[in-house]
Amino acid sequence: MSKRRRAVNAALLIGGLVVVWQVVSWLVPWLTGANALASPAETLRFTYGLLASPSFYPHAGETARAFAIALIFAVSLGVSIGTALGASRFAGEVGEPILVGIYSIPKITLYPIVLLAFGIGMPAKVAFGAMHGIVPIAIFTMGALRNLNPVFLKTARVQRMSRWQIASRVLFPASVPEVFTGFRIGFSLTLIGTLLGEMFASQRGLGYLLMQAIGLHNIRMITAVTFILVCVAVTASAVLWAVDRRLHRRIPAEG
């Protein structure tokens, strides 16, 4: 797909979403008599005001910090667990259903336990964010190591490479694309987890701002914070997606 075609598609998509948003924001008061959604123009104006007010930045900074720490935990623990389980076939067989099971359970039900363990504040948010991100990263890391093209290892052995050389020159580069896919998914989930943690377990941050606005029924604030979060999340995921595709193109999958 050409660059131009992709730009046109993106413009169509964004334009379509704005139109839907505008129509819904007209329809809702008309159908229900309640004001539940700020229009795109109103949201932009309010968002601009929010971004200009100094009281917004401590919240944004708090969320960014919590997210960054949670992501560090998610990546380091996820990659370690994935490597441990991917290194041997048997460990993988034992571990995979456990990981898939943990991935599928509604982790949000665990928030009271996280609060009891960490108290309200930064550690609980970080734990909640990391909890969401660790498992997908571990699953993809494990998959990357297990589905490695066997020719790579055979070639390495023929070349009489040492263990360390095999790990650093063959295993690591060959598994990077899949691990990155795990990172991309883990990134999104960690962000969502951190925000959820803030919604329940915090006095600061964007999640708290959202929860407070919900409590006060501040429609413009709800819409603006949601809008900012969606913009940040979509931009980050688009960048990660582009890197992901480039990495996958460089190394052909098993075959």
Partner 1 sequence: MTAGRVRLMITIGIVGVLEAMCRLGAIDRFAMPPPSEIMWNLGRILVSGQMWPAIAKTFANVAAAGAAAIVAGVALGTLIHRWAALRETLDPAFAAYYAIPIYAFYPLFIVVFGMGDLPQVLIGFMLALVAVIMNTLNGLDRVPRVLLKTARIQRLGRVSTALKVSLPFAAPYVFTGIKLAVAYSFIGVIGAELIMSRTGLGYEIGYAYNNFDNAVMYPLIVLVLTVAASVNAVFYVWEKKLLARRRK
Q: Which residues would be at the binding site for partner 1 (CB under 8 A)? A: 1, 5, 9-10, 12-13, 16, 28, 31-32, 34-37, 90, 93-94, 97-98, 100-101, 103-113, 115-117, 185, 187-189, 191-192, 195-196, 199-200, 210, 213-214, 219, 222-223, 225-226, 229-230, 233-234, 236-238, 241
User: Smallest gap, in angstroms, from Cβ of residue 73 to partner 1?
Assistant: 19
Q: Which is nearer to partner 1, 72 or 100 (CB)?
A: 100
Contact 149, 254 (CB under 8 A): yes
Distance of CA 102 to the CA centre of its chain: 17
Query: DSSP letter at 169?
Result: I
Q: Which is nearer to partner 1, 145 or 228 (CB)?
A: 228
Q: Which is nearer to partner 1, 91 or 166 (CB)?
A: 91
Task: Name the phi and psi angles at 166, rounded to 5.
Answer: -60, -45
Q: Which is nearer to partner 1, 82 or 92 (CB)?
A: 92
Helix ranges restricted to H, 119-218:
122-146, 150-158, 163-165, 172-201, 206-216
User: Smallest gap, in angstroms, from Cβ of residue 98 to partner 1?
Assistant: 6
Cα gap 183→43, rounded to integer Å: 32
Q: Which is nearer to partner 1, 28 or 174 (CB)?
A: 28
Q: Which is nearer to partner 1, 152 or 227 (CB)?
A: 227
Query: What is the number of other CB atoms lying within 10 angstroms of the CB of residue 196?
Result: 19
Residues with Cβ within 8 Å of 226's Cβ and at least 6 positions away in sequence, in order, are: 210
User: Smallest gap, in angstroms, from Cβ of residue 52 to partner 1?
Assistant: 22
User: Smallest gap, in angstroms, from Cβ of residue 246 to partner 1?
Assistant: 14
Helix %, strand %, coil % for the chain, to 5? 85, 0, 15
Please give the radius of gyration of the chain, using alpha carbons only, rounded to the nearest integer: 22
Cα gap 126→198, rounded to integer Å: 9
User: Smallest gap, in angstroms, from Cβ of residue 151 to partner 1?
Assistant: 22
**Quick one: tokens of 98?**
């456990």
User: Smallest gap, in angstroms, from Cβ of residue 68 to partner 1?
Assistant: 16
